[in-house]
Amino acid sequence: MKKNVCIFVWLLCLVLSVAAQEKFVKLKIVQTSDVHGNYYPYNFITRQEWEGSLARIYVFVQKEREQYKENLILLDNGDILQGQPTAYYYNYIDTISPHICSEMMNFMKYDAGNMGNHDVETGRNVFDRWIRICDFPVLGANIIDTSTGKTHLAPYKVLERDGVKIVVLGMITPAIPAWLSENLWSGLRFDDMEETARKWMKIIREKENPGLVIGLFHAGQEAFKMSGKYNENASLQVAKNVPGFDIVLMGHDHTRECKKIINVAGDSVLIIDPASNSVVFSNVDITLKLKDGKILHKDIQGVLTETKDYGVSEEFMKHFTSQYEAVQNFVSKKIGTFTESISARPAFFGPSAFIDLIHRIQLDITGADISFTAPLSFDAEIMKGEVYVSDMFNLYKYENMLYVMTLSGKEIKDYLEDSYYLCTNQMKSPNDHLLWFKEKLKEGAADRAALQNFSFNFDSAAGIIYTVDVTKPRGEKITIISMADSTPFRMEETYKVALNSYRGNGGGELLTKGAGIPQEKLKDRIIFSTDKDLRFYLMQYIEKKKIINPQALNQWKFIPEEWTVLGAKRDYDLLFKKGKEK
């Protein structure tokens, strides 16, 4: 009997000892990405309540912290400094106060951030100031200081939670030089993501010996070569080809995604992307089984969670009331009067007052011969009557500079050939689409979901008279009839062309693939650049004129009209049938 009792006690002790050596660690990862200034639950552009915001996400974060405590890890994946007037105001208007974005992220207790291309677009004065105020590291493993060869920012962040070492490696899309003027990122370079990931994964494995590795990549998943040299949207490629990542948090492409893939080593990697504007966020649950400090098993599950379901944090709103009021006062300033309402919708189907107002102002500011611009806002409207600062964020969505470049007549034609190739379907009958739609639609921003290419690359021209024959193939669509004043347009002549800095630096590849100008030669063509963003000059122009009568210039048209008029009506209904008529 005593012997049996001893055996039982011994077995019990053994079981308890083994059990004591095993434990489970639960982690929660929350990722925001492409917030684009949507900090408050209010859209300062449309002057309406807004479903996406950090103020809503904070409700979820605080609720989950009650359970997870320090095991909730909050990460941002870039493009948080641009978009809503809130960001613009603290980027360029009030540069004395602490940056609101830093203050809010500190308040929410972010564990790490990452750089996005639109954060770089704000310029070094802005993004360096933002980073200095943040209580957490903003990462950038492939952002290199050219003077030292070292990373400008921390490449990765090490977090320890319940005995588990977690490493977050941050990278940005390397295509910055193809979009942004060098003065905005002077002294920096942006290395290839896959090469960078291989380098740092080796260092992380040897130096940190992590239990969990998270990639925080401001890049989408459909990789392609931008301007023949920048591997754009390489997040999925890195996740597959560089073993070691457990999770890859994506951004940049504004497309919702949540899936698991198998990498080249046969391991599962969670891929998740919360699209844009804080409408959803990445919500990842991790359960780790440990024994003697070693991870035996990982269970990683992710979902995209709707922000609107969590209400608004009163604590957040109260803490940032004064900043809210400052931005409200800024956007409420009257700058002029429009005699007509204008909408971006008609810009997809022919000349429009909306786009041609930008053309007129670009030509007036620069004295250029020809202007290029695109519908940067997919579905924006400015009503006739008094016009306010808030309306300017509808009229012009991004903080681009205004350039004047020299282009030959042939380069101008080839540029437009590529622009309309990206925009239009090659019609075979009057029953075909006028616009080029995707065969399979993805959930995300409306313009990016429906159309084959980004609408912000659909440039039209002013200053010339031309037609676009949508029955013709790429390279044969454009016929330039004359200059707008009826003087001849000559292929061999050199013209001054006004366009934005995104396009002038190679964005959309209309100058490189289209006009055939090598990427490295683009800067040699720039003969003028504004020192402030174009929206600033648009506001100045309207304030000076006081009354604006926006009208379409009617300097180009789609042909054959008996086909394109029908196609335009059908495609308009397809694109905008869910919205009110404009």
Instruction: Write out pLDDT tens, residues 98-115.
Output: 999 999 999 999 999 999
DSSP H helices, 1-159, are 2-21, 54-68, 85-88, 100-108, 117-121, 124-133
CATH code for the structural domain at 22-327: 3.60.21.10
pLDDT category of residue 377 using cuts at 50, 70 and 90: confident
Residue-level pLDDT at 442:
46
In this prediction, residue 449 carries a pLDDT of 63
Q: How long, in residues, is the chain? A: 582
DSSP H stretches of helix in 273-424: 314-319, 321-331, 353-366, 389-395, 409-423
In this predicted structure, what is the pLDDT of residue 16? 42
Can you tell me the distance from the alpha carbon of 255 to that of 276, in angstroms, rounded to the nearest whole number? 8
CATH 3.90.780.10 intervals, the chain: 334-576
CATH code for residues 334-576: 3.90.780.10
pLDDT at 2: 55
pLDDT surpassing 80 at residue 397:
yes
Q: How confident is the model at residue 15 (pLDDT cuts 50, 70, 90)?
A: very low
* 286 φ, ψ (degrees, to nearest 5): -125, 130
Backbone angles phi, psi at 169, to 5 degrees: -100, 125
The pTM score is 0.90
- Name the DSSP letter for residue 89: I
Contact 320, 99 (CB under 8 A): no
Q: With cut-offs at 50, 70 and 90, classify the pLDDT of residue 462.
A: very high
Alpha-carbon distance of 437 to 567, in angstroms, equals 12
Closest listed residue to residue 166, CA positions, set 304, 22, 29, 21: 29
The confidence score (pLDDT) of residue 440 equals 63
pLDDT mean across residues, the chain: 93
For helices 100-108 and 54-68, the axis angle rounded to 10 degrees is 20
Span 227-240, average pLDDT: 91
C-alpha dihedral sign at 341, 346, 347, 353 = negative
Predicted confidence at residue 228, as pLDDT, reads: 77
Report the SS3 class of residue 4: helix
DSSP 429-463: STTS-SB-B-SS--SBSHHHHHBSS-GGG--EEES
* Distance separating alpha carbons of residues 87 and 569, to the nearest angstrom: 37
User: Rounded to an integer, what distance in angstroms lies between the CA atom of residue 301 and that of residue 247?
Assistant: 10
What mean pLDDT do residues 250-268 have?
96
| pLDDT confidence tier of residue 1, bands split at 50, 70 and 90 | low
Mean pLDDT of 83-88: 96
Instruction: Quote the CA–CA distance of 142 and 169 in Å, as a whole number.
Output: 10
Which pLDDT belongs to residue 576?
Answer: 87
Q: Which two tokens stand for residue 378?
A: 């997919």
Mean per-residue pLDDT for 409-427?
A: 98
SS3 state at 227: coil
Reported for 438-444, long-range contacts at CB under 8 A and 24+ positions apart, including other chains, are 442/255, 442/256, 443/255, 443/256, 443/275, 444/253, 444/254, 444/255, 444/256, 444/275, 444/276
